Amino acid sequence: MIDIAWSQFTPGTALAGGILIGLAAASFLLLNGRIAGISGILGGLLPPTKYDTIWRIAFLAGLIGAPMLWMLVAELPPIEINAGYPTLIIAGLLVGIGTRYGSGCTSGHGVCGLSRLSFRSLAATLSFMATGFITVFVIRHLIGA
């Protein structure tokens, strides 16, 4: 049986934030004609090309600037990072290589891909969700870290 963490479950703000993310993807699509896939936008800068750089930096600046803007007005909700530095390095490498090799992440395949009813993105989303669940299961319940 699944035990729901009722004290942590935040359906209202989750839905509201999800709608904002959807509006972000929608505006990027309808204004610029592009998929708001974050790993692809960042990966396209490595290395930067002549005509394809400024909008990528602009998008990433908006993303990184969001918490800064937030902090001008209100206190940021907690960001709890319990992983240690070696773990973060391994995680970063896997996420970096994996998203480029698999052509997308939670935003490009998950949000945008599923929104445009792409089977390819569904396959990708099911793949990373499956290994995500398995990894946490192994770490928290088998190894017990």
Residues 6-45 that bind another protein (CB under 8 A): 8-11, 13-36, 38-39, 42-43
Residues between 70 and 129 with contacts to another protein, criterion CB under 8 A: 70-71, 76-83, 85, 87-107, 109-112, 114-120, 123-125, 127-129
Three-state SS at 101: helix
Q: Is the Cβ of residue 50 or residue 68 nearer to another protein in the bound state? A: 68
Q: Could you tell me the two tokens for 99?
A: 């998203």
Q: Which ranges of 49-118 would DSSP assign to H, the alpha helix?
A: 54-73, 85-101, 114-115
Cα-to-chain-centroid distance, residue 49: 24
- With CB under 8 A as the contact rule, the residue among 49, 50, 64, 75 that binds another protein is 64
Q: Which of 23, 39, 42 is nearest to 115 (CA)?
A: 23
Of 47 and 50, which has the nearer Cβ to another protein?
47
Q: How far is the CB of 9 from another protein (least distance, A)?
A: 5
CB atoms within 10 A of CB 40: 20
Q: Is 65 in the site for another protein (CB under 8 A)?
A: yes
Give the nearest distance from C-beta 86 to another protein in angstroms. 10
Q: Name which of 4 and 50 has its Cβ closer to another protein.
A: 4
Residue where the block lists tokens 């996420």? 95
